[in-house]
């Protein structure tokens, strides 16, 4: 990933495009610790510009379906990034945050929930995502009303490796169709 001057948020995210697979672990004071396998796919839609993503996880051992999340990443005013998603639990969430480019082609995204729905327990979420060539690592924190004091606590951590580039898209006809 080259991070030349004047690159847009969308261009900075380009190394994400493709399929990522890895493992992680989860914890929270109200649940038993667990391990999971994850597959996340990012597909770029430069005509909008947005990044569509799909994240699926399975509990290990046994590969029992655990979590499914779909959404879009889009650049917003001020060079920030916004993620809007829907989750299999019914929760919907909007996170917003910043991107920082470091040495060695490292991209760090720090995102905090701005609004969410369908989960009255949730007070706040935060995701810190670090992307290096071929590797994506993240930690997710949350605060809920289920603990004595709703404080920011670690919930998830995973490391994924890029296993495939994005599938070929048909050539754009130059006219994006919005409904």
Residue spans per domain, the chain = 9-162
Over the stretch 69-79, which tens digit does the pLDDT of each residue have?
999 999 998 88
Q: Does residue 1 surpass a pLDDT of 50? A: no
d(CA 119, CA 109) in angstroms, rounded, equals 24
d(CA 179, CA 175) in angstroms, rounded, equals 13
CB 42 within 8 A of CB 52: yes
CB 165 within 8 A of CB 158: no
**Can you count the helices (H) and strands (E) in the chain?**
1, 10
d(CA 75, CA 69) in angstroms, rounded, equals 19
pLDDT at 176: 47
- The whole-model pTM stands at 0.89
| Reported CATH class of domain 9-162 | mainly beta
Over the stretch 72-126, which tens digit does the pLDDT of each residue have?
999 998 889 999 999 999 999 999 999 999 988 899 999 999 999 999 999 999 9
77, 72, 159, 87: CA torsion to nearest 10: 130
Over the stretch 14-59, which tens digit does the pLDDT of each residue have?
999 999 999 999 999 999 999 999 999 999 988 888 999 999 999 9
């Amino acid at each position: 990933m080259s991070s030349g001057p004047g690159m847009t948020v969308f261009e900075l995210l380009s190394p994400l495009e493709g399929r990522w697979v890895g493992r992680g672990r989860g914890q929270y004071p109200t649940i038993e610790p667990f391990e999971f396998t994850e597959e996340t796919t990012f597909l770029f839609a430069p005509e909008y510009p947005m990044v569509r993503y799909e994240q699926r996880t399975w509990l290990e051992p046994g590969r029992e379906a655990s979590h499914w999340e779909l959404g879009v990443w889009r650049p917003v005013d001020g060079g920030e990034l916004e993620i809007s998603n829907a989750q299999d639990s019914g929760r919907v969430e909007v996170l917003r945050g910043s991107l920082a480019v470091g040495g060695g082609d490292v991209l760090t995204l720090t995102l905090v929930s701005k609004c969410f729905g369908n989960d009255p327990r949730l007070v706040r979420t935060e995701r810190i995502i670090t992307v290096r060539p071929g590797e994506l690592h993240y930690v997710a924190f949350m605060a809920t009303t289920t603990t004595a004091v709703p404080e920011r606590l670690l919930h998830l951590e995973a490391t994924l490796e890029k296993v495939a580039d994005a599938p070929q898209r048909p050539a754009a006809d130059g006219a994006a169709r919005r409904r």
